[in-house]
Amino acid sequence: MVVGNWVMRKKNILPLFAILTILGLILFCWAAFEPILQGSLASYGNYSTTINFSCRSNMENALNATFIYNISGGATGTYFLTIANTSANQSVFENAIMNISALTDGRIYNITCLINNGSISRYSTAFSNVTFDSTPPVVNFTGIINTINNGNYSRMIILNVSASDAIMGINSVYFNMTNSTGAQVNFTRAFNVTGPFYNASINTSAFLDGLYNITVYANDTQLNNRNNLTKIQITVDNSAPRSLPAYVVGIANLTNYSGDIILNITGISDATSGIGVVGFQISNATGSLNNTFASSSVNGSWNATFNTHSLGDGIYNITYLINDSAGNQNSSVAMYNIIFDNTAPTISFSCSPNTAFVGDTVTCTCSATDVLAGVNITIYNSTPDTSDSGTFYSTCAAYDTAGNVANNTYAYSLNQVPVSSSSGDSSSTPTATKNELWSQITPSAPVTITNFANGTGVNQIQIEVSQIASNVKVTIDKYDSKPSAVSTEKTGAYLYLHINAVNLADKLSKATVKLQVAKSWVSSKNIAKTDVALFRFDNSSNTWNALTTTFASEDSSYYYYTVELASFSYFAIASNVQQAENTGDQTSATGTPAPTGFWGLPYWVWMIIGTIILAIIVWVGISFAKKKKGY
């Protein structure tokens, strides 16, 4: 029974064993023919540009191996590459380099190898979740404020760039600097600051001034995708601009200024990066600063207008700050001890007496002080005109060396000379008047008054001025008897004259008057033609003073004389023979004696007397000689 049972069990096991053996042989054959995918790939790896495929199989008479890829999770495969056999029973199919740049970057792929011998096909998916990335990082200088193309830099500079790689990320960024000849002068790794931004500091102090190219080397994490096409060109300039003090225009050391001044410098240059900004730094003794920047260059000249009113009066230094486009500065040009003075001088001005009579002398005095800049000039008339009555104003102007001016005006009054009620002298009103007007008289063009009527005592008057006079009016009045404004009569006067001028007083240089005197009057006075003079009335002493009068010419009816006047007043034409008897000393307005002889006798009388005495002496001498010889 036992034997029988074992035999029965053995019969049952043998078919099962045979089935298992057959299945094992099938699996062995399958495993022997199953492709094995090899190469440089790995699951979850990242690759770019090219990859190396390799597939091995023991399938007999394999014709080819096909590599298939599909996107992870996708059911459809795409033929990537087919490698045909090169010999019978070839077991290894490989391609050393495969270009994957046509594949979409950033996708995750599965790689499968399919072996085919014409009747049997076997495949194996060996690599999954493989990433392909053939795009280099993106590098950009756009938007970077302190590293720009064609920029100018000096000494320590900071290079900034934006670098990013959306798929694999950035591994490293380098800056490569070359000079204009292409020689490398620096290669520096940049550091990630934040986000996509990288920077590096480079000291250019040892660099020669000139142009440099900066190329960015940006690598993603595979280190086989590199962007080295992005570059910029910069100028390195470590030299300050050139300038000379002689190029400063309009401002000088130890000089005084007021109001708006123009700060100007010209002829400055920078051979490498060019002039950038020019400034003017103004500082006082306390160190207070005021910086004013010039406008852009106009024909090589840099200037700015500065209002000195914005600073107090005082002494200042002006430093010229010349900056090139790379930031180098030349501050060697400076002007020292410049005075800003916007305060006018202080004036003390007065005239004495402040009330006088017409023809009196009024004396004005003016003095000025200026604490900071000092007084340059004071302008005023020390002896203003007193030829007419009324209230008048004399002005003093004082200028300091900075150009400030102060004016002070003083008023004085002139009254008509009172007429003595006890003198018994008669007075008169003008019997002839002549007026002349000019809009302007200049020093280079004297004016002449002519066409006087015969008998008025004047033939012509020529007026010369020391400065331009405007709106001038001259009036000549003739009186047959003493004018009411004159207190004392001139004995034996031919006639009286009053010459008055408006807007001419302090501008008159001289007036040359040509007098006209009737021969009949000279004959009636039994005087010589040279014994006629013009007299001026002095209000202060109530006397008539003879003026130097020169005989000029004559015609059938009149003698003509010339007299030079420094000012106008009341005048009388009379004989000078009795001058000592009636008016005392005969002195011209300029201190020149009138032509009179001894004891009031004219010289021609003394000449006759001398001739008679000489004849008597000769006669006595001759008579004495005859008696001695016995005649």
DSSP readout, 154-222? -SEEEEEEEEE-TTT-EEEEEEEEEETTS-EEEEEE-EEEETTEEEEEEE-TTSPSEEEEEEEEEEETT
> Which segments of 398-465 does DSSP mark as H helices, in order?
none
Q: Assess whether 502 and 396 both reside in one domain.
A: no
CATH number at residue 521: 2.60.220
Amino acid at 6: W
**pLDDT the model gives residue 496:** 95
Q: Assess whether 44 and 110 both reside in one domain.
A: yes
Q: Could you read off the pLDDT of 43-64 as tens digits, one per residue? A: 556 666 677 777 777 777 777 7
Choose between 528 and 28: higher pLDDT. 528
**pLDDT the model gives residue 502:** 86
> Which segments of 483-591 does DSSP mark as H helices, in order?
519-524, 579-583
Q: Assess whether 505 and 627 both reside in one domain.
A: no
**pLDDT the model gives residue 324:** 80
Q: Is residue 8 part of a domain?
A: yes
Last residue of a domain, one of 83, 98, 132: 132
**pLDDT the model gives residue 30:** 45
Give the pLDDT mean for 219-247: 73
CATH number at residue 104: 2.60.40.10
Q: For residues 70 and 51, give the distance between their C-alpha atoms in angstroms, rounded to a whole number.
A: 16
Q: Which two tokens stand for residue 262?
A: 């123009």
How far from 29 is each of 91, 116, 198, 573, CA to CA, in Å?
15, 15, 59, 165
Q: Could you read off the pLDDT of 117-131 as tens digits, one per residue? A: 777 777 666 565 677
Q: Assess whether 591 and 442 both reside in one domain.
A: yes
Give the pLDDT mean for 271-284: 81
Return the residue matching tokens 């320590």.
Answer: 156
Give the pLDDT mean for 343-359: 88
Q: Which two tokens stand for residue 145?
A: 């404020």
Would you say residue 346 has pLDDT above 90?
Answer: yes
Confidence grade of residue 359 (pLDDT, cut at 50, 70, 90): confident
Q: Are strands 495-502 and 469-479 parallel, antiparallel or unpaired?
A: antiparallel
Give the pLDDT mean for 505-516: 92
Amino acid at 372: L
Confidence grade of residue 263 (pLDDT, cut at 50, 70, 90): confident
**pLDDT the model gives residue 482:** 92
Q: Is residue 516 part of a domain?
A: yes
Q: Is residue 420 part of a domain?
A: no
Q: Is residue 472 part of a domain?
A: yes
Give the pLDDT mean for 75-91: 68
Last residue of a domain, one of 280, 306, 340: 340
Choose between 337 and 586: higher pLDDT. 337
Q: Assess whether 357 and 394 both reside in one domain.
A: yes
Give the pLDDT mean for 436-460: 89
- Listed in sequence order, the residues at least 6 apart from 455 whose beta carbon sits closer than 8 Å to its beta carbon are 432, 516, 518
Q: For residues 592 and 506, give the distance between their C-alpha atoms in angstroms, rounded to a whole number.
A: 23
Q: Supply the DSSP string of 54-113, one letter for each residue.
A: EEE---TT--EEEEEEEETT-S--EEEEEEE-SSTT--EEEEEEEE-TTSPTT-EEEEEE
Q: Assess whether 267 and 300 both reside in one domain.
A: yes
Q: Assess whether 463 and 562 both reside in one domain.
A: yes
Q: Is residue 425 part of a domain?
A: no
Q: Which of 516, 441, 430 is nearest to 473 (CA)?
A: 441
- φ, ψ (nearest 5 deg) of residue 307: -95, 110
Choose between 428 and 36: higher pLDDT. 428
Q: Could you read off the pLDDT of 380-410 as tens digits, one per residue? A: 888 888 888 778 888 999 999 888 999 998 8
Q: Could you read off the pLDDT of 414-430 as tens digits, one per residue? A: 876 554 444 444 456 78
Average pLDDT, the chain: 78
CATH number at residue 230: 2.60.40.650
Choose between 454 and 28: higher pLDDT. 454
Would you say residue 170 has pLDDT above 50?
Answer: yes
Q: Is residue 424 part of a domain?
A: no
Confidence grade of residue 29 (pLDDT, cut at 50, 70, 90): very low
Domain that holds residue 616: 599-631
| 68, 79 Cβ separation under 8 angstroms | yes
**pLDDT the model gives residue 349:** 92
**pLDDT the model gives residue 153:** 82
Q: What is the pTM of this model?
A: 0.44
Q: Is residue 421 part of a domain?
A: no
Q: Assess whether 96 and 152 both reside in one domain.
A: no
Would you say residue 225 has pLDDT above 90?
Answer: no
Last residue of a domain, one of 415, 449, 472: 415
Q: Is residue 427 part of a domain?
A: no
Q: Assess whether 198 and 268 both reside in one domain.
A: no
Q: Which of these ranges, 13-22, 112-121, 171-180, 216-225, has the smallest mean pLDDT?
A: 13-22
Amino acid at 384: P
Torsion of CA 564, 570, 573, 576, to 10 degrees: -80
Q: Assess whether 513 and 393 both reside in one domain.
A: no
**pLDDT the model gives residue 594:** 46
Q: For residues 401 and 418, give the distance between their C-alpha atoms in angstroms, rounded to a whole number.
A: 47
Q: Which of these ranges, 94-108, 143-157, 207-221, 482-496, has the smallest mean pLDDT?
A: 94-108
Q: Assess whether 481 and 609 both reside in one domain.
A: no
Domain count, the chain: 7
Q: Assess whether 472 and 577 both reside in one domain.
A: yes
